[in-house]
Amino acid sequence: PLPTVAIIGRPNVGKSTLFNRLVGKRLALVDDMPGVTRDRREGEAQLLGCAFRVIDTAGFEDEDPASLPGRMRVQTESAVREADVALFLVDARAGVTPLDEEIARWLRSAGTPVVLAANKAEGRAGEAGVIEAMALGLGEPVPISAEHGEGVGDLSEALQPWI
Ligand code: GDP
Ligand code: MG
């Protein structure tokens, strides 16, 4: 089986944009089933000559953002459990939020290796957010722009040990 990368993070940080950039058209069709599989997409990607499986976890913008919402928690935990590495995205423009901190806390205890990436880092608007993300205690964030395709090389290097 291919190594698995789970893209996780709170809603709207750019997980699906990154998934689409990594996976392109090699999208696996996941059965439209209730529960965990309904809320995720899987696909195959390749970086630095390594093929791997990517899981995109859905965001639940309709739910209470004050604490990690139920379905999102189930979804995130399930994806991380089957992943070789969790790719944790934060939004460099929005800065670190309480929900980011809650996810980070859980990740630090989960035991799965984590690569932290600060998305939306194109231009200067993300500079403070990238620095803020260092305080999450998950290592140095990789600044990326999923939308503009920036930082993919550095992200590949950060993921390389697990793919
Ligand atoms: P998800 O909820 O984490 O899957 O986030 P999406 O991929 O749906 O993206 C949420 C919003 O952020 C969309 O409006 C995207 O166009 C935008 N977005 C994603 N990546 C970037 C980026 O690199 N830079 C900027 N400025 N916006 C981005
Ligand atoms: Mg999404």
Structure tokens at 155: 């992200």
What is the per-residue pLDDT across 11-48, written as a single tens digit (0 to 9) for each? 899 999 999 999 986 665 554 444 555 567 889 999 99
Mean pLDDT of 92-108: 94
Ligand 1 contacts (CB < 6 A) are: 9, 11-17, 59, 119-120, 122, 145-148
CB 90 within 8 A of CB 133: yes
| 3 state SS of 47 | strand
Split into its structural domains, the chain has a count of 1
* Average pLDDT estimate for 110-134: 96
Which domain does 92 fall in, by range? Answer: 4-162
Q: Is 12 annotated as a binding residue?
A: yes
Res 130: pLDDT: 97
The mean pLDDT of 102-127, rounded to a whole number, is 95
Domain of 120, CATH number, reads 3.40.50.300
Interface confidence, given as ipTM, is 0.99
| Tokens 């899987």 found at | 42
Q: Does 69 score more than 80 pLDDT?
A: no
Dist. CA 16 → ligand 1 center (Å): 7
